[in-house]
Structures are given as C-alpha cells and as structure tokens.
Amino acid sequence: MSIRGLWTDEANLEAEEIMNRKMTALNVTGTNARVVAKEVFNSYYSLTKLGDDPKDVDPTDARMYLSTSPDGFTRSLIAKMFADTANIQGSINTTRRKARHKTWDRITIPANYFYNGHPEVKTTIGRFMFNKYVLQGAGIIGATKLITDKLLGKEGLREVDHQIGYLYLEDVITRAQFNAYSDRRDNLGYWLNGMLAHTISMKMAKPLKEIETLKKQLVSKHKDEIEAGNIDVMTDISDQLVARAKELLEDDPGMDLYKSGDLDFASNYKNNAILKGPVMNKLTNEFDFIDTSFMNGIEIKDIPAHANSILAGQYPASIATADSGYMGKKLLALLQMIEVDEEGTDCKTKNLIPVTVTERNKEDLVYSYFESGGQLQLLTRENVDRYVGKKILIRSPMSCVNTKICSYCAGRLFYLLGVKQAGLLSTQLSHSNLNLSLKSKHNSSITLHNLDLDIIIEET
C-alpha cells in the first residue's frame, strides 16, 4: 500500500510560510545562520585587501562601471576586470590577457550615488564591487550604508553577515532582500575564488631552511625538558617557530590563505611545513613531541605518536557525534515545554541577576531588560556600549515566577524571532556542541591559557 500526501494550494502556502519564518534564516542569538566559510573568506579577502602601488581606474572604465547595473557585472566581465586569462587553441596558439585592474586600484564613488546623503568616497575597485553587486544588487545598501572601511576576511565578512541578520530580525529589510544578499554574496565569492585566491606559493611548497635550522637549535637546547614531557616548553618551541615563519612569509602571496581566515596558520601550515608538535598520549596521559612536519615525512620513532593523533582526531567524528545527538534529544525533551507568554506580561519578580557588561558578552545581553532607577529598560544595539564595564541587574528567564516566561524576563528577542515555544530552540545548543566536538578533528594544536579568577568572578 502506498500513501501520498495531497498537493494543495493550502499546503503550498503553509510550506511557504514555514520556510520563510525568521528562525529558518537566523540563529537563536538573532545573527545570520546562512553564513559561508573557507574559500569565500579567501575570495573576499583578496577582493578587499589593500596592495602596493595602487593606480586610479581609467576615467572611461570608471564611468562604465558606475553606469552598469549590479546584474550587469557578469562573471565574464568580472574576470576581465580582475583575472589574468589565457585562451589556448590546440598546442600552439595562446592568447594571454592581463587583468584590467588590481583589486586595490582606486575608484571615486560620487556623492549620493548609492543613496541620498552619502559623501563622495574614494575606495578600491574591489570594495566598490562588493557594494555594487552584493549590497546594491540586494536592495539593502540604504540600510547597511557604504561598507568601504572593512577588510572582508573571516572576521570582516562575519561582521557584515551579522549586520544583515540584525536588519532582518528588526524588520529593516525583508526576507526577499535577506535571501538576495545571501545569494549574491555566495555568487561573487565563488566566482572570485578561481580568479583571485592563492592557495600555495613556491616559497610555501617546502619547509623553510631558516625554520629548519632554528627548530634543530631549539630541540637540541631543550632536549631534557622534551623527554620529560614538559608541555610548556613544547608549546613554546612551536610558538617560536610559528611566529618566525609568519615573519618570513609576511609578504608572500600564499599567506592570503591564512590571513583571510580560510585556514589556521598555527595549525595547518605548522603541521605541514614546520612540525607536528605536542600530541597527547592517551595511554600515559602525557604529551609526546613530534619535531617533524608532514613535508619532512614521518620518522619511525614518531609512528606511535602519529597514530595517537589520528585516533584522537577520529573520535569526535564518531563517538562524539552520537553523544552530541543524544544530548540534543535530552535537551529537547527537557526544554520543549518552555513557552514565552504574550507581549506585555510581567511576573514582577524581584529576583534580578547581576551581570557585568563586557565587550565579550554585550551581544548576548542585547534585547534583555534591566533595572535602572527603579524602572525597567531595554538593552539595544544603540545603547549597550554605554554600559560596558558596568554591573547591571537584569531580568532573566531563570528568575521568572510565571508558568510561562513573561515578556520582561524573556526579553525582546523571542518576539522579534516570532517564536513562542522557546524550548524548541534547544536544538541549536546540540548543534553548537556537535560543531565544537568536530572542530577538534581538524585542529589538533595545543593552546595554553592563563586564567585570572578575579576577572572571571567579576564578569559573572
């Protein structure tokens, strides 16, 4: 027997409404959930970086670009602008064409060009392209304003993504505009990757001689501490070698891969071309030290340590995945009944939670209510910076005395997201936990931290 669902107009309308709820595009914090990584970071870093010897874009070209619509910047036009190309016919005839511009060549954007009120701006042709194709093309540049002061690597692009998420959360832009931004960002990012992005260079294709010499000196000098399993010394050796390699490669084009945030220099390049470094031995609960890199090759004495490293990396992809999934089910079972009450409800609890606002936690506190002068006030993105470094008393779901969480203890975020069953958002907690587990598979570097208990106690 087969069962088929009815394909009705009502069902399609319901599916459309569900697919376009804010929670399908935003995280529980209100940030953009439709983010990118890796190659796109590298592309936008190359598009928006500043380089040596910038030239002014030819006036004729500048007028053409300014008069071209966002959709007029096709992949072929962008390739002519930024990419060195070659047309090979058979094995003999080759036509080579140099790019018209470096991405850091300068172009002047006239006043009021993108929206009324912005001044004349001289910026790079690459940054103009992002504003033109992505922001203007999505119809949101009036809300975001010109973005010409950011280097759009990993951190810069995520700042823009968060801004777009907040604009959608607060109904400044529509869902169609939000979707258009995401699609155009991805289109341009992946188009540019083959045109601009460097993945390796000749200098990075083999270990650096100076680093190999320094490594031998440090390993010989600290031989006794390494044999004793001194993790502080092992980590210091790795850190010194990584820092020196960064200095030697600072101006190398292959560094764009790491500067953009696409890969982690202290993990990927270190393992490939410097040394593996300290590796936890689960049998002894001590650290082994591997002083060779993958390019050097694995020495016989280091095979057990490499095996330990492989097993330690594989665990998160198997056992920890199951653990995270089970934890998610437990959280959902525990929290699924938590519901936010109607707007305007107030349990009038006197149990307020003292919190010191810091640069690190301020984004998490936005949309929360706090007491000031006997009155409840709302923390917003506009006023939160005024309270950084200060201790405030906030209303929290943890201290609500109603059956359903009242609107002042819940804060404004759930209402902006259009969510009443707040407990259902616990699925995002298990997803975050899974990502943290899987991250250890790809990054086996050892990092040491000094904790200042006075600061921790003060912030909490």
* Tens-digit pLDDT profile for residues 223-266: 999 999 999 999 999 999 999 999 999 999 999 999 999 999 99
Tens digits of residue pLDDT in 180-206: 999 999 999 999 998 998 778 899 999
Numbers of helices and strands, H then E, in the chain: 18, 10
DSSP state of 132: I
User: What's the pLDDT at 286?
Assistant: 85
> Considering Cα of 162, then 164, then 165, then 170, what sign does the dihedral take?
positive
Mean pLDDT to the nearest integer, 401-420: 92
Give the pairing of strands 277-281 and 121-124. Answer: unpaired
Please name the helix (run of DSSP H) or strand (run of DSSP E) that holds residue 458, with its range, or none: helix 453-459
Does the pLDDT of residue 353 top 90, yes or no?
yes
Question: Cα–Cα distance between 195 and 99 in angstroms, integer?
Answer: 10
Domains in the chain (CATH in brackets) are: 17-196 (1.10.274), 199-337 (1.10.132), 353-442 (no CATH)
Question: Cα–Cα distance between 354 and 367 in angstroms, integer?
Answer: 16
The reported pTM is 0.85
Tens digits of residue pLDDT in 18-42: 888 898 899 888 889 898 888 999 9
CA distances from 70 to 18, 126, 138, 143 (A): 30, 14, 9, 17
Rama region for 402: left / alpha / beta (φ>0; ψ in -120 to 50; rest): beta
Question: Cα–Cα distance between 54 and 64 in angstroms, integer?
Answer: 20
Does the pLDDT of residue 327 top 90, yes or no?
no
- Bigger pLDDT: 328 or 39? 39
User: What's the pLDDT at 289?
Assistant: 92
- Bigger pLDDT: 86 or 391? 391
Does the pLDDT of residue 11 top 90, yes or no?
no
Question: Cα–Cα distance between 98 and 343 in angstroms, integer?
Answer: 61
User: What's the pLDDT at 440?
Assistant: 59
User: What's the pLDDT at 300?
Assistant: 86
CA distances from 219 to 214, 299, 400, 445 (A): 9, 16, 58, 18
Mean pLDDT to the nearest integer, 55-60: 96
Does the pLDDT of residue 89 top 90, yes or no?
no
For residue 138, what pLDDT band results from cuts at 50, 70 and 90?
Answer: very high
Question: Cα–Cα distance between 363 and 16 in angstroms, integer?
Answer: 31
For residue 308, what pLDDT band results from cuts at 50, 70 and 90?
Answer: confident
